[in-house]
Chain A
Amino acid sequence: MRLRGRRAPLAIGVCALLVAATACGGADGSEEPGRTTLVVKTFSQFGYQDLYKQYESSHPGIKIKEENIGKLGDYTPKLQQWMASGSGAGDVVALEEGILIQFMARPDKFVNLLDHGASSLQGDFLEWKWKQGLTSDGAKLVGLGTDVGAQGMCYRTDLFAKAGLPTDRDQVGALWPTWDAYLATGQRFMTARTGASFFDSSGSVYLNMLMQLSDHTYYDTANNLVIDTNPAVKAAWDKTVQMIQAGLSGNIAAYSPQWNAGFKNGRFATIPCPSWMLGTIEKQSGPENAGRWDVAKVPGNGAVRGGSFLAVPTQSKHQREAAELVKFLTSPLGQMAAFKAVNNFPSSPKAIDEPAVRNFTNAYFNDAPVGKIFGDSVKALKPVYLGPDNNPVNDRVTNALTAIEQGKLSPEAAWANAVAEAKRVAG
């Protein structure tokens, strides 16, 4: 609040000085009387274009403007600034799981959706997803769930054929009931010398295992850092190191240009793919690789990585209208539409069981029944508690794994490094 009080007179001063009405007026000032423009801030792909049109036609007087930032990494600091300065966040913001956890410390920055009749919607969401957006006393609902990052394992059928492995997705899924079996399959794959590595880089494999192994990761539910005492963390780490040492990793950093090109050139044969990543894979691999990718079940029992929420910042001038829009976009119907548009997997049990989702196949991925694969993955799932600095700590662990891949640190030194860095972050 102090921040806001200080900035306001200054801002007025600047406006008066520059007489720049356009720069200072802001988006809200320019709207026609009787019409409300709702600004929705999103990152990556949410697939809401059709839903906006639908909503606008059924709600005359409402106009929706989406402002999208491609990368979550670029979106996060901007969101920070909007929230801290009290302006710029628009009317609806998308909160990725990790950001939500950090903002749960300040529920007062967001409109309590329970005040806008959200309590009747609880049955529309998976129980743990609903709870993630709810303060621990149950009094405030910060965000309503959109998608969940249901996990599958994407793989290249052409590379599998080259290596003499089965290519049918059920047979492929049967190759790896466990991560040990995944490792063994990887070793078989590597002996065939296809020129590709078995997976892109260790970070996503590691995280996938970690999310399956325990109900919490780096923090216990009392928010104590337990990275060096939670056996699940060390188990996932050790298994990942084993895979690196077996030569399965291509050491290709996720979201780097090499990674983007790697999809096109087939530089890696498998990649653990949360549902929201299918769109990325399709975009990066391009039409020339259509039908070469397929989706199988992930080793172990399901898992979830990522997933988002929609929230209304208290700085919005149209809180009531914005809350209505959030309820619409996160409704089972809205979630189904988003799934069809960009494969963001619903967090609504109703939507998950709809035939339209359940029977959905993805043409690009060899007509894989992704609706069923991801649905089973989500249902096998136990919620995992993520502590406040979960993402920064995970960044450090991933970096330590990369250092092993680059041959710069021994596994022991890398582990010591990761733990020390994690303690510095949390301390």
Chain B
Amino acid sequence: MTRLLDRLDKVASPYLFIAPFFVIFGIFGLFPVGYTAWVSLHAWDISGAQGFVGLDNFVTLFGDPNFWNAIVNTLGMLILSTVPQLVIALILANALNQRMRGLVFYRLGVLAPIVTSVAAVGIVFSQIFDRDAGLVNGMLHLVGVPPIDWHADKWSSWIAISTMVSWRWIGYNALIYLAAMQAVPRDLYEAAEIDGATKARQFWAITVPMIRPAVLFTVIVSTIGGTQLFTEPLIFGQGGFAISGGSLRQFQTVSMYMFEKAFRDFDYGYGSAVAWMIFVLIMLLTLINFLLTRHWGGRA
């Protein structure tokens, strides 16, 4: 009997110890994904399932101009926020990697934006980009530029929202780069120095290639985050029907469109179809990123 228990202990215990993660992941991760797929195949409104409709929701979705508009907006803001964000983070990390006074202070400083609540950031930036009393329009006024209605156009609203996103995540990415940079062997730089390479040359020829895994990681994480962009444009939108992302859906992202269909129009089946398309989009973008970055890695 004791031997049996002993054997059971050896065989089952490890599984039992790791079980909580998988059970919770199953409940909160896999189940909703599966359930959403199930709902997306139905006409499903406030009164519950109205019958199986197969891929109807997806067919409608592919012909829905508002959906494609949301995709374009999401990708546009993704590029507009991710690219400058990562480039600035890289430069910032390089600066923080030097010897200087008050280093800890600066390193902590770049972290501050991440711990700020996203709602607070959204509200402050909405004020900064306010049409009537905003800081940006105030400064433009000083140089004689007429005030811009930041909400009214695609380009202006994208800039405002991307600024918000970048501001929040630059520090986070910079710290990841910094950690990677610290692991780059010093003697490489010493050798480069002896060979007469400038600081800039060292940065591009040694630092960047050496921290490639970190860059790959941040690109993928930023892409996933950008694809799910929701809170910032929502708060920027303001007003009673902010979920539409502006009067002509100038800055409505796919996540916002999903929420609008499901919780504003109470078309849960359609909303679930949009949710699944977001999932597919993320997988696609991650794959593209991965291939691109690997290609870039091969050349270096």
Contacts and interface: CB of A to CB of B under 8 A. Distances in A.
18 contacts: A10-B27, A13-B27, A14-B27, A17-B23, A73-B240, A105-B47, A251-B149, A253-B238, A253-B239, A253-B240, A256-B238, A256-B239, A257-B130, A392-B265, A395-B244, A399-B244, A408-B247, A424-B66
Given A106-B48, A395-B240, 5 more contacts: A13-B23, A80-B263, A256-B239, A258-B131, A408-B247
B31 interface: yes
Contact of B152 (A76, A77, A407): A407
B27 A392 contact: no
B238 A103 contact: no
Contact of B264 (A84, A392, A405): A392
Interface in A85-133: 102-103, 105-106
B95 interface: no
A294 B91 CA distance: 58
Contact of B247 (A3, A255, A406, A425): A406
A254 B241 CA distance: 9
Across the A-B interface, the 7 shortest Cβ-Cβ residue pairs: A253-B239, A256-B238, A77-B263, A402-B247, A406-B152, A403-B247, A256-B239
A102 B27 contact: no
A389 B239 CA distance: 20
A271 B126 CA distance: 24
A196 to B, nearest CB: 12
Nearest to B46: A102
B132 interface: yes
Interface string B148-161: 01011100000000
Nearest to B241: A395
A259 B27 contact: no
Interface in A367-381: none
Given A399-B241, A406-B247, A17 B20 contact: yes
Nearest to B263: A77
A398 interface: yes
A408 B250 CA distance: 11
Max chain A C-beta neighbours (<10 A), residue from B66, B123, B240, B259: B240
Contacts of B20: 17
B123 A257 contact: yes
Contacts of B153: 408
A76 B263 contact: yes
Contact of A259 (B46, B48, B239, B263): B239
Given A103-B46, A425-B265, A398 B27 contact: no
Contacts of B57: none
Contacts of B36: none
Nearest to A261: B133
Interface in A131-177: none
B293 interface: no
Contacts of B49: 2
Max chain A C-beta neighbours (<10 A), residue from B45, B151, B153, B239: B239
Max chain B C-beta neighbours (<10 A), residue from A17, A77, A251, A406: A406
A102 B266 CA distance: 9
Nearest to A391: B264
B248 interface: yes
Contacts of A259: 239
Contacts of B239: 253-256, 259
A400 interface: yes
B218 to A, nearest CB: 33
B64 interface: yes
A51 interface: no
Interface string A180-196: 00000000000000000
Interface in A1-55: 2-3, 10, 13-14, 17
A261 B265 CA distance: 30
A105 B153 CA distance: 39
A258 B130 contact: yes
B265 to A, nearest CB: 5
B97 interface: no
A341 interface: no
Max chain A C-beta neighbours (<10 A), residue from B45, B66, B266: B266
A406 B249 CA distance: 13
A226 interface: no
A409 interface: yes
B127 interface: yes
Nearest to A406: B152
Interface string B73-114: 000000000000000000000000000000000000000000
A104 B75 CA distance: 39
B248 A403 contact: yes
B263 A105 contact: no
Contacts of A403: 247-248
Interface in A243-277: 251, 253-259, 261, 267
A2 B42 CA distance: 14
A169 B64 CA distance: 50
A399 B248 contact: yes
Interface in B19-69: 20, 23-24, 27, 31, 45-49, 64, 66
A10 B24 CA distance: 11
Nearest to B130: A258
Contacts of B241: 395, 398-399
Contacts of A258: 130-132, 238
